[in-house]
Amino acid sequence: MTLSDIEFPTPSEDADCRPVREILDRIADKWSLYIFVALKDGPVRFNALRRQIDGISQRMLTITLRQLERDGLISRTHFPTIPPRVDYELTAVGRSLLAPVMALVTWADSNRDVIEQARRQHDQTR
Amino acid sequence: MTLSDIEFPTPSEDADCRPVREILDRIADKWSLYIFVALKDGPVRFNALRRQIDGISQRMLTITLRQLERDGLISRTHFPTIPPRVDYELTAVGRSLLAPVMALVTWADSNRDVIEQARRQHDQTR
DNA sequence: CCGAATCCTCTTGGATACTG
DNA sequence: CAGTATCCAAGAGGATTCGG
């Protein structure tokens, strides 16, 4: 499949399009991207994730991890030690998503100056 | 720059990281992605965009277009005809973002079956 | 046709306190 | 350490109405 095969919604393809939107909406929520990046080098424990992702609350970390687990993108390993330990890790499918995600992150990093300048220019023009 | 150069937040890099997050949050909002895809083949008029992006309200289309314009990712051309006509188009910077975005869309399209199966399996297990 | 403005709803998400 | 439960505020976003 090539990029040009992906056509958004001529009405007839609309039904096919919905699952894709569901997936994109999940990926594009507030925290999923950052969890992905945080897990890119291997398993990470719950509180380590929490420290690594600046500003995320315990609640949202839990919720987002559960959703990603449900989608089969990350796996959860519970060690019944005392104190308990839980590792989160990308699955094979999750790792296959890492390339596009990192491409986005790389783009954002490369273009932040351009964008900030565009904003300043826009704000002072009006 | 390679992918491995992008490290998320060792505390010392935290300040550098914030602009990147701002940009990602913009890209990853509910509608920006779809506007990008809709504009990938050239200029599109306001109401054509509205029809093309299923479910978007006039309000959110306007707001999202304004934000993307402020970031220098799309341009707006107003033809003072009657009735008026306004074309939206990706800028050069915007087009450079198209590749990573389409990679994501392609991934979502290729993996929707896998994800839906993972969801069903997860939901029936518990 | 292309919006701006208002109103109102519902989701998102933070703060806090409590369990195993 | 790794959660769960509850409460509450802020903002996203839809519906509708009006203007150029």
Closest CA to A5 of B102, B32, B48: B102
Q: Which residue has the tokens 């993108």?
A: A73
Residue type for B112, please? R
> How confident is residue A9, by pLDDT bands cut at 50, 70 and 90?
very low
Gap from B107 CA to chain A (nearest CA, Å) = 7
**Chain C footprint positions (protein CB, under 7 Å):** 1-6, 12-17, 20
pLDDT in tens, A88-116: 999 999 999 999 999 999 999 999 999 99
3-state secondary structure A17-51: HHHHHHHHHHHCCCCHHHHHHHCCCCCEEHHHHHH
Contact B90, B74 (CB under 8 A): yes
Asked if the model's pLDDT at residue A20 lies above 50, the reply is yes
Note the pLDDT of residue A16: 54
Asked if the model's pLDDT at residue B16 lies above 90, the reply is no
pLDDT (average), residues B85-104: 95
From the CA of A1, how many Å to the C1' of D12? Answer: 35
Contact B33, A28 (CB under 8 A): yes
Which CATH code fits A17-125? 1.10.10.10
Residues of chain A found within 8 Å of residue B29, distances taken between Cβ atoms? 28
Residue boundaries of the structural domains of chain A: 17-125
Omega prior to A11 cis, within 30 of 0: no
